[in-house]
Amino acid sequence: MHPTSFMNPSEEFLRHAAECQQMAKFTRDPASKATWSRMAERWTRCAQVFQRQRPPPPQSTRHRLRPGAGAQH
């Protein structure tokens, strides 16, 4: 199984953004630098959109005590 299969999409998008930023940093051609920078911005926006649109995680009730159900001795 591929190691990124366990990564959540926003983390993967941010990883792609970082790779694009690195490419922009090391390229000498101004047009290529601009393209890599735009790609990094788009990946970052994808991560932000995913975070806003994703449903909240389900609430765990396993460890929650019912009101008045304290420890019994």
Contact indicator for 21, 33 with CB cutoff of 8 Å: no
Contact indicator for 12, 4 with CB cutoff of 8 Å: yes
Task: Please provide residue 58's backbone torsions phi and psi, each rounded to the nearest 5 degrees.
Answer: -65, 145
pLDDT of res. 59:
73
Length of the chain, please? 73
Number of H helices, E strands in the chain: 2, 0
**pLDDT, tens digit, 9 for 90 and up, residues 36-49:** 999 999 999 999 99
pLDDT of res. 58:
73
User: Which pTM was predicted?
Assistant: 0.66
pLDDT over threshold 90, residue 67:
no
Average pLDDT estimate for 48-71: 70
